[in-house]
């Protein structure tokens, strides 16, 4: 296996993609291997188990090809020797049982699949083990919506985390004591790591490779797996969903008014008057219900409409801007980039294949 990997890398060297001189990999000197325990829960996403196993195994191969000792000892840890996922479509054979793993350095919690509350309920037996490993000094890393399982341990209370943009509202409702960092790809606090949505977890995995080896090894891994190593935001992929999953009818009435009058000038005083509330009371209730200030919400609705127009039409920038009620081009560009991480032109170039420049 090591020979084959080295051969493939050497072969691509002729095209200038890699160097065959592996001495540049300044890998840390270690006497003991680092134990990586990849948790295998019920209702897990198969790729979120296979991908970290593949990455850390590949890094070991890189090290051996460079004349170094492999650093990672990789375990698949579960309650049983066989764990069936996707309604029994796939079976994962664990290498270690949960009860036998009392010492590890890094625990990977993969993304969960399906209904999050149900997925948590089927994995309650894993929570004490995760807590015990953390209290014994292990680092814990959750991938995508694996954050739901990590938060269920209570370890994230009072701390920050990332998760899939499409599940952020549900996450806040279930775990109000955890601060969700919108748009973040990787969040780290007190040996607790979490990633953004879906394939964003690759950026967390590369971050961990860099943390436990070095930058050059992480760069090599990013090139091998064709992953953009320094992507910092998932904002460009997010779809604003209106944040109406709450029971405050006055706030919902205001949200509906915003949605149907988005091309007009809307003031906070107008909205407060509409729902017969004082301004301060209205702003407080709106923030509590939607997790956005009134102005943040209005801008996010506007920008979501702008995104759809940029994706699907040939309208120029001024037409898009005026259509959603902006008259200041600089303000529009500033707010658009704050919400999406891209300028309007960059966003159009990325997502609109019909537009002719």
CATH at residue 291: 1.10.10.60
Q: Are residues 28 and 55 both part of a single domain? A: yes
CATH at residue 109: 3.40.50.880
Coil, helix or strand at residue 179: strand
Q: Are residues 43 and 129 both part of a single domain? A: yes
Which residue among 237, 265, 297 closes a domain?
237
In a domain, 356, yes or no: no
**Residue at token pair 């134990």:** 35
pLDDT at 13: 34
Please give the backbone phi and psi of residue 313, each rounded to the nearest 5 degrees, phi first: -130, 175
Please tell me the total count of domains within the chain: 2
Tell me which residue range forms the domain holding 341: 249-351
Residue 79 DSSP symbol: S
Which residue among 237, 265, 290 closes a domain?
237
pLDDT at 355: 52
In a domain, 260, yes or no: yes
In a domain, 253, yes or no: yes
Q: Are residues 207 and 258 both part of a single domain? A: no
pLDDT at 240: 64
Per-residue burial over 231-258, b if 16 or more Cβ lie within 10 Å, else e, is bebbbbbbebebbeebebebbbebbebb
Q: Are residues 29 and 172 both part of a single domain? A: yes
Distance of alpha carbon 87 from alpha carbon 39, whole angstroms: 18
pLDDT at 235: 54
Which residue among 207, 237, 267 closes a domain?
237
Q: Is the CB of residue 77 less than 8 Å from the CB of residue 96?
A: yes
Q: Are residues 7 and 73 both part of a single domain? A: yes
Of the candidates 300, 292, 288, 289, the residue with the CA atom closest to the CA atom of residue 259: 300
Q: Are residues 285 and 209 both part of a single domain? A: no
In a domain, 357, yes or no: no
Q: Are residues 201 and 135 both part of a single domain? A: yes
Structure pTM?
A: 0.66
Distance of alpha carbon 157 from alpha carbon 307, whole angstroms: 34
Q: Are residues 98 and 8 both part of a single domain? A: yes
Q: Are residues 97 and 142 both part of a single domain? A: yes
In a domain, 98, yes or no: yes
Residue 100 DSSP symbol: G
Per-residue pLDDT of the chain (357 residues; tens, 9 = 90+): 333 333 233 333 333 333 333 333 444 444 458 999 999 999 999 999 999 999 999 999 998 988 888 999 999 999 999 999 888 889 999 999 999 999 999 999 999 999 999 999 999 999 999 999 999 999 999 999 999 999 999 999 999 888 888 888 889 889 999 998 876 778 888 899 998 876 788 888 988 998 888 888 888 888 888 887 766 655 554 556 667 878 889 999 999 898 888 888 889 999 999 999 999 999 999 988 888 899 988 988 888 888 888 888 888 888 888 888 888 889 888 988 888 888 888 888 877 766 544
Q: Are residues 129 and 83 both part of a single domain? A: yes
**Residue at token pair 């939607």:** 290
């Amino acid at each position: 296996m090591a020979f084959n990997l080295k051969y493939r890398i050497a072969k691509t060297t002729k095209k200038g993609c890699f160097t065959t001189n592996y001495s540049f990999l300044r890998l840390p000197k270690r006497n003991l291997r680092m134990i990586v325990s990849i948790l295998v829960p019920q209702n897990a996403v198969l790729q979120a188990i296979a991908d970290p196993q593949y990455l850390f195994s590949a890094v070991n191969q890189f090290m051996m090809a460079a004349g170094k000792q492999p650093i990672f000892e990789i375990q698949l840890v579960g309650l049983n020797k066989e764990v069936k996922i996707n309604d029994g479509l796939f079976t994962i054979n664990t290498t270690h049982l949960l009860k036998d793993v009392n010492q590890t350095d890094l625990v990977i919690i993969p993304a969960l699949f399906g209904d999050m509350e149900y997925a948590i309920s089927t994995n309650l037996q894993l929570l004490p083990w995760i807590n015990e490993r953390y209290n014994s000094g292990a680092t814990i890393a959750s991938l995508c919506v694996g954050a739901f399982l990590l938060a269920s341990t209570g370890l994230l209370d009072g701390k920050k985390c990332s998760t899939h943009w499409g599940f952020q509202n549900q996450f806040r409702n279930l775990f109000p004591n955890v601060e969700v960092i919108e748009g973040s790809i990787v969040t780290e606090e007190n040996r607790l790591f979490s990633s953004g949505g879906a394939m964003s977890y690759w950026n967390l995995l590369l971050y961990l490779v860099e943390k436990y080896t070095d930058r050059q090894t992480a760069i090599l891994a990013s090139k091998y797996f064709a992953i953009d190593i320094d992507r910092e935001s998932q904002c460009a992929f997010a779809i604003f969903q209106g944040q109406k999953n709450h029971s405050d009818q006055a706030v919902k009435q205001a949200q509906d008014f915003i949605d149907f009058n988005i091309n007009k000038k809307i003031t906070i005083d107008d909205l407060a008057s509409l729902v017969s509330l004082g301004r301060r009371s209205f702003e407080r209730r709106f923030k509590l219900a939607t997790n956005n200030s009134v102005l943040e919400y209005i801008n996010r609705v506007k920008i979501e409409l702008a995104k759809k127009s940029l994706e699907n039409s040939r309208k120029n920038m001024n037409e898009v801007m005026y259509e959603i009620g902006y008259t200041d081009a600089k303000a529009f560009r500033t707010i658009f980039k704050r919400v999406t991480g891209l300028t309007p032109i960059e966003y159009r170039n990325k997502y609109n294949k019909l537009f002719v420049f």
